Amino acid sequence: MRIIPAIDIIEGKCVRLSKGDYSTKKIYSDAPLEVAKQFEAHGITSLHLVDLDGAKSDTIVNYKVLEQIATKTSLSIDFGGGIKNNESLKIAFESGARQITGGSIAVKNEALFTEWIAKYGNEKMILGADANKEKIAISGWMEESDLDLVDFIQKYMEKSIEYVICTDIAKDGMLIGPSFELYQKIIKKCPGIKLIASGGISTFDELPKLAEMGCEGTIIGKAIYENRISLKQLENFIINRF
């Protein structure tokens, strides 16, 4: 299972929110590149980078941060937030994103997101399936929908999507543990999915459980920034995995 730290960006700064609520913003660093370099120094190879300004707008905003991290580290970056049209997608890839996470676009413009999967391949595209009470939420989680989470994933699996990031919004940034039952349900009902668990990670002991369950990766945010899980622990986990 891949360890994927998260860097969420508002106005160029590294922040974390609780349950996606922008009013709960807490700034952890003015230098996202230095944070990314710390991750890399501890053997981490993947990074989840989210443009929270972009998520609220119609286009990518913090692409300079993406470009900086991509050119000055070797981290494989999946990028999301504001990818709602072909121009934003082009900017993200040209700025160094290895993969793109599509959430709002996959709901609001199914035809375009499906076109991207066909054009760029399912190794490049990740389905962002963020949910509240198993209903998909979009636009920086400010909008809820009537779409059932599992149905949504299954529909895109039929369009050859492989990677899915699933965040239980009620858990995100709350340090109360991940949604084990929800992830078990998804893995059972969506055989072959490469599920990346996100939201609620609070202790190191939760990581082996997610690995045993069959998650392809797990995204860790506030638990790192609040020193609940140390980078040394993650480094040892990565070493022992091999």
Question: Would you call 172 a catalytic residue per the annotation?
Answer: no
Q: Which of 53, 78, 130, 168 is catalytic?
A: 130
Q: Which of 8, 53, 78, 172 is catalytic?
A: 8
Beta-bridge partners for 193: none
Spatial distance between the Cα atoms of 190 and 176, rounded to a whole number of angstroms: 26
Q: Does the annotation count 8 as an active-site position?
A: yes
Say whether 131 sits in a helix, a strand or coil. strand
DSSP codes of every residue in 134-176: TEEEETTTTEEEEEEHHHHHHHHHTTT--EEEEEETTTTTS-S
155 token code pair: 């529909």
CA distance 190 to 2: 19
Q: Give the catalytic positions in this structure.
A: 8, 130
